[in-house]
Amino acid sequence: MPAPIKLAPLEQPILLSVVIPVYNELKWVEEIIKRVTASDRLGCDLEIVVVNDCSTDGTTELLEELVKRYPAMRLFHQDVNQGKGAALRRAFKEAKGQLILIQDADLEYDPSEYPVLLRPLISGSADVVFGSRFLGGPHRVLYYWHSVGNWLLTTASNTLSNLNLTDMETCYKVFRREVLESVDLRQDRFGFEPEVTAKVARIGARVFEVPISYSGRTYEEGKKIGWKDGVKAFWCILRYGLRD
């Protein structure tokens, strides 16, 4: 494991960039913007960076209305649908905050838990924080084989990164800006999760894991990740875990 990178203390006031990749989330996106805006951010200022990944269900038009109503929101559109990883790279590029938090556009992850995610960063204890769905927080009971697949992927990732995470695939990841600027991210879809995990481990970032709640949705409710994404994630673990 590389020696931890040395980062200067966060300067006050702290700006938190909540980045939200959006694709066909007409039913949920307005509520998630409301909840992010109302969240407790431990005194951090807020910007919401939304990247619309060429939605086709009316989400685009709704986002154009929402950006007029929420001063903290900044909206960017992808010309073609490229995937979550590509949308996040665009969001990271546009974000201005010292801290950057990934928020999915549905209601599976709860913005009321931002204080739990932010404390290790604001206190100077961490450079990256993962919110784990498997450290005891309440969660909706859903697919058994998804949990098995997550455990297998997390274990494979830990084997190569030498981290001891319980939930590598979690959406809730928060980074200091300098950490993201130190890694070259390339994956366009859900391969982002194992790629960024391998790369923050390689540069010696101090990674914390905290418990979060989780209200997973079914495929009928709009869940998008499937078994092919699991296969690609395993490939990415090998690809970025063995060499950059």
Question: Which pair of tokens denotes residue 200?
Answer: 């923050």
Statement: residue 221 has pLDDT above 80: no
pLDDT of residue 79: 95
User: How large is the average pLDDT for residues 160-174?
Assistant: 96
Statement: residue 145 has pLDDT above 90: no
**CA 172, CA 241: separation in Å to the nearest integer?**
21
User: How large is the average pLDDT for residues 76-85?
Assistant: 96
Contact 206, 175 (CB under 8 A): no
pLDDT of residue 74: 98
Statement: residue 237 has pLDDT above 60: yes
Amino acid at position 83, single letter: G
User: How large is the average pLDDT for residues 52-74?
Assistant: 98
Amino acid at position 225, single letter: I
Statement: residue 185 has pLDDT above 80: yes
Given the candidates 3.20.20.60, 3.40.190.10, 3.90.550.10, 3.40.50.720, the CATH classification of the domain at 15-242 is: 3.90.550.10
Residues 6+ apart with CB under 8 A from 19: 49, 50, 51, 88, 91, 92, 95, 100, 101, 102, 103
pLDDT of residue 154: 96
Cis peptide before 111 (omega within 30 of 0): no
Statement: residue 136 has pLDDT above 80: no
pLDDT of residue 141: 47
Statement: residue 16 has pLDDT above 70: yes
User: How large is the average pLDDT for residues 79-87?
Assistant: 96
Structure confidence by residue, pLDDT tens digits, 19-36: 999 999 999 999 999 999
User: How large is the average pLDDT for residues 76-104?
Assistant: 97
pLDDT of residue 232: 85
Question: pLDDT category, 94, cuts 50, 70, 90?
Answer: very high
Residues 6+ apart with CB under 8 A from 48: 17, 18, 20, 33, 36, 37, 70, 72, 73, 74
User: How large is the average pLDDT for residues 197-217?
Assistant: 92
For the chain, give every domain's residue range. Answer: 15-242
Q: What number of other Cβ atoms are within 10 A of residue 135's Cβ?
A: 13
Question: Which pair of tokens denotes residue 16?
Answer: 């938190």
Q: CA-based Rg of the chain, rounded to a whole angstrom? A: 17
DSSP E strand boundaries for 23-94: 45-52, 73-77
> What are the backbone angles phi and psi of residue 82, rounded to the nearest 5°?
-120, -20
3-12, 151-160, 189-198: range with lowest mean pLDDT: 3-12
pLDDT of residue 219: 47
Contact 44, 117 (CB under 8 A): no
Strands 45-52 and 73-77: parallel
